[in-house]
Structure 1
Amino acid sequence: MHQIKHGSVLEVDIHGMTASEAKRGLEQLLSRADKTITEVRVIHGYNSGQVLRDMVRRQLKHPRISAKIISLNPGETRILLK
């Protein structure tokens, strides 16, 4: 899972992971993320990333998640944090 921090936004690329690996990794990331992080931009891909996209948008749950925003980029989902 590749991560890049841009100020208060953390960009995470989950290409090449299984849905269960990505879910576990994102849950750990959300639990450990600094309180200054207000958004996690998850790059899951579009063509072969539909399983990952659906996991992020439908199955990923965490107490820090306040909203999920479907990006104009179909290969990306934005997660706003509390």
Structure 2
Amino acid sequence: MECGIVTVDLHGRNTYQAKVTVDALLRRAGAGTYRLRLIHGCHQGTALRDFLQVEYGHHPQVKRLLRSPDGGATDLVLREMTE
């Protein structure tokens, strides 16, 4: 784990399981976490990638989404936490 970046492998999970995982990560993200790197792969279809875009593209904690150049991961860049 890089400082401030939490990486999670979502391979083998369906969209419901991915949502539960990502929602838990967002709840636990502290002030030192600025990015969630979600590895979903790209060779078994795009269901998880597309789901992440739709579900978290306009989430209040997410500043923007970034896709890896190979399409196998999506980074959720988080907004700064305010108390």
Identity of aligned residues (%): 31
Q: Is 1:62 matched up with 2:81?
A: no
Please list every run of 5 or more consecutive structure 1 residues that lacks an aligned counterpart in the other structure. Answer: none
For residues 22 and 43 of structure 1, what CA distance do their matches in structure 2 show? 11
Aligned amino acid, residue 57 of structure 1? Q
TM-score (norm 2): 0.84
Please list every run of 5 or more consecutive structure 2 residues that lacks an aligned counterpart in the other structure. Answer: none
User: For the aligned residues, what is the CA RMSD?
Assistant: 1.3
For residues 32 and 11 of structure 2, what CA distance do their matches in structure 1 show? 25
For residues 34 and 59 of structure 1, what CA distance do their matches in structure 2 show? 21
For residues 50 and 19 of structure 1, what CA distance do their matches in structure 2 show? 11
Stretches of 4+ aligned residues off by more than 6 angstroms? none
Aligned amino acid, residue 44 of structure 1? H
Q: Is 1:10 matched up with 2:6?
A: yes
Larger radius of gyration: 2
